Amino acid sequence: MLTGSVLLRALRRIRARHVAIAAALLITPIVVLIAYSVVTLPLNGGLVIAPTPSALVIEAQDGRNFATRGVFKGGKLSSADLPEHLKAAVVAIEDRRFYEHAGIDPRGIVRAAWRNWQGGGTREGGSTITQQLARLMFLSPDQNLRRKIQEAVLAIWLERQIGKQDILLRYLNTAYFGAGAYGVDAAARRYFDKPTKDLSLAESAMLAGLVRAPSQLAPTRNLGGAKERADTVLRAMLASGAISAQQAADARAAPVSLRIPPETPPGTNYFVDVVEADTRRLIGVAAGDLTLRTTLDLELQRVAEGVIARRFDSEGAARKVSQVALVALAPDGAIKAMVGGRDYEASQFNRATQAKRQAGSAFKLFVYLAALQKGYTPQTSVLDEPTQIGDWEPQNASGRFRGRMPLRTAFAQSSNSVAAQLGNEAGIPAVIAMAKRLGVKSELPTVPSLALGSAEVTLLEMTRAYAVLATGNEAIEPHAIRAIQSEGQKALFTHVAPAPGPAGGLGESRAMMLDLLEAVVREGTGKSARLQHAPVGGKTGTTQDYRDAWFIGFTPELTVGVWLGNDDNSPMDKVTGGGLPAEIFRDFLTQAVPVLAKGKAPGATAQTTRTAPSIASVPGTADEGRASDARPQPAPVSGAGAVIRGVPEVLDTGTLLVAGEPLRLEGVASEGGAPARQLARFLRRREIECMTGQAAEVQRCQIDGEDLSEIIIAAGGARATPDAPANLLAAENQARSARVGIWRRQR
């Protein structure tokens, strides 16, 4: 019979056995997981940046950087290349106990877990710099328990193999800093265009703040966020004793500015794609980063984008047209502006270089040139009448025939009947030969309808053909790159203009063709393209059912091609080449001619990319200032040239109340709601000075010596009025391109 004590001992043995079994069941998987993690360590790993094309720094024609592409790898620095405040900044924000732990920091893990629990999400990481280096050197970025165990094991191993300074150095040479920059050397050059050793404390704090969230905080896309994070780094450095309060204050006061523009302006990406492809074609795969001097005129590019945006805003949807392309060529073939579509983010397909569309009557250039080479002249009498060539019976767009007329009139009025007859008489092979001679590279079918533009061609090759005719130089080629340099400023490529074409070129045929093209604009289907102070020649083109609309024309300075249509080839609402395309051409050249004449945007300095004060970012609450929805008609200030000063009250973005006088800002459209409230916050308690302009009902106002209208429009606070001065139209183009303010969600 069992006694109580014996029974108790038996129960204890059973309980101990169960506890041991339970512990074994609990510990064994952990031991197995740790063992498996150690066994599967990728000790032959290491951060490998996949082979990529060289990083490209892309300059406009005037040397201003406006875009970058590719991965910036930078050089491997030594400890002597790193300023002490950069090391201190990284340690303070990433791993304050870096010099005290042995690879992993239990206190840091507990602190991060506690703060994350308090914040209701992942707000702080517990990984040390050594763990981060282990991950960068050997592991994948996968978030799982095995990787965390491997990371800890490798961190302890790294601490035993190399010293702290070497760990920090390798980390800074390896970490990703956003905007394609791997390693601190690449980041310093990418953002500040300077060696790492020359970084200021403020710049070092900004770089140190990027490694936690490089894509989100990269100053090229989020300068405000990068500056806020840099301030957090300075506070951490101050708390750790790495810097003094005075040093922190001095760093906060020191301006940190990028030496390159923020991100590539969205509209220029079509051009940058062309540049990137041309670089590969010209020099192949190059080692190291490259600097490309291109042909792009940033002011003309902004003008093109602004003109197109305004036309589409007012007429695009109503006319059932969704896409556009524009190319502007200088007389030497340099591409000065390029628009490849309405929205690069939505579609990278370049409709200026890649889309092949029927050219319609714009193709008649080659037909008439072939006929002129056969002996026709602009005065030759031709008959616009029903015509049949085989089974084909071409019809005029109007459905009517006009009888006998001079060749000049037939071309100006774009007679299909006459073009078909000329193509048949000159011979379609001769028409094809003429098109190829002028630079058309697309396949052209030997069919009678080719005379009316039934072949599919690109806007760029058609614009090039018109440029050849305009300049008389058959050797010109469209090009986007003037020069390519390596990191060491070694010239890898320099564009050399080809020798002019054969002596005499097209001879008298060219002069006669120019006469015909000028007649189109003077008295024919292209009258909407006329300019007040510059001679223009060109040709309209419209395809069946209004699926494509073209205008290609030229002045002495530029040859410009414009195409409108829909990607799905659906019809537009009666959009012809003489309508919207010719109007876009006219609007573009109206602003482009003075830009070319002065070498800069009208009313602006060469540094037109300066950042205007951002109305939307001015601190303040929504009820600061006053922005009334009431919009009374302003009474004119007494006397032309009268000056009025005072603190304004905002009625809307275009109307202010100063000293009881309603003032109408020159060139600024009236916007209520949020834009007006933001303007009110910007102007709160600040005095402005206004002077009556030429028109007594509008005023030119200044704040702190700056044009208030230009500040508002450049910051995206309002649209420019149709009659706004050229400098305000340029400011609107800049705001649209940068998608700031009211243009932030515009496409």
Note the pLDDT tens digit of each residue in 70-127. Answer: 888 777 888 889 999 999 999 999 888 888 887 676 665 566 555 555 555 444 456 8
| Residue 30, pLDDT score | 47
Q: Looking at per-residue confidence, does 163 or 605 come out higher?
A: 163
User: What is the phi/psi pair of residue 54, to 5°?
Assistant: -60, 150
* pLDDT exceeds 70 at position 142: no
Domain 306-598, CATH class in plain words: alpha beta
What pLDDT does 499 receive? Answer: 76
pLDDT band, residue 481 (cuts 50/70/90): very high
Of the listed 127, 322, 361, 709, which one is catalytic? 361
Q: For this structure, is 315 an active site residue?
A: no
What is the model's pLDDT at position 475? 85
The answer to whether 99 touches 87, Cβ cutoff 8 Å, is no
CA dist 163 to 196, 608, 710, Å?
22, 50, 56
Res 448: pLDDT: 95
What are 712-747's pLDDT values in tens digits? 888 888 888 877 887 888 888 877 777 778 877 554
- Mean pLDDT of the chain, nearest integer: 82
At 432, the amino acid letter reads: I
Give per-residue burial for 131-156: e unless 16+ CB within 10 Å, then b: bbbbbbbbbeeeeeeebbbbbbbbbb
pLDDT tier, 689 (very low <50, low <70, confident <90, very high otherwise): confident
- pLDDT beyond 80 at 697: no
Integer angstrom CA distances of residue 31 from 27, 131, 135, 496, 542: 6, 21, 22, 69, 76
d(CA 313, CA 78) in angstroms, rounded, equals 55
Q: Does the pLDDT of residue 628 top 90, yes or no?
A: no
pLDDT digits (tens, 9 = 90+) for 150-201: 677 776 777 777 888 888 898 899 888 988 888 999 899 888 888 899 999 9
| Banded pLDDT at 619 (limits 50, 70, 90) | very low
Q: Which of 56-65, 432-441, 474-483, 593-602 has the lowest mean pLDDT?
A: 593-602
Instruction: Determine whether domain 82-253 maps to CATH 1.10.3810.10.
Output: yes
What 8-state DSSP symbol labels residue 75?
P
Kindly indicate the confidence band of residue 618, based on its pLDDT and cuts at 50, 70 and 90: very low
Residue in 254, 320, 279 with CA at minimum distance from that of residue 580:
320
* Domain boundaries along the sequence of the chain: 82-253, 306-598, 615-743
Question: What's the rounded Cα separation, in Å, for the pair 6 and 274?
Answer: 91
Secondary element (H or E) of residue 468: helix 459-471
Q: Does the annotation mark 94 as catalytic?
A: yes
What is the pLDDT at residue 606? 35
Annotated catalytic residue: which of 59, 94, 649, 666?
94
Q: Which of 162-171, 362-371, 525-534, 652-661 has the lowest mean pLDDT?
A: 652-661
Let me know if the fold of 82-253 is the same as that of 615-743.
no
Contacts 24+ apart (CB under 8 A), 236-243: 236/92, 236/93, 236/96, 237/85, 237/88, 237/89, 237/92, 237/93, 237/205, 239/92, 240/88, 240/91, 240/92, 240/96, 242/85, 242/88, 242/89, 242/91, 242/92, 243/85, 243/88, 243/201
pTM of the model: 0.71
Q: What is the pLDDT of residue 113?
A: 54
Residue 406 has pLDDT above 50, yes or no: yes
What is the topology classification, in CATH, of domain 615-743? Answer: OB fold (Dihydrolipoamide Acetyltransferase, E2P) (2.40.50)
Query: Helix or strand or coil: residue 189?
Result: helix
pLDDT digits (tens, 9 = 90+) for 265-303: 778 999 999 999 999 899 887 777 889 999 999 999 989
For residues 286 and 428, give the distance between their C-alpha atoms in angstroms, rounded to a whole number. Answer: 45
Q: Are 310 and 304 in contact (CB under 8 A)?
A: no
Examine the pLDDT at 262 and tell me if it is beyond 70: no
Give the three-class secondary structure for 707. Answer: strand
Answer with the residue of higher pLDDT: 633 or 106.
106
Return the structure tokens found at 550.
């073209």
Q: Is the pLDDT of residue 15 over 80?
A: no
Q: Per-residue pLDDT tens for 221-238?
A: 788 888 889 999 999 999
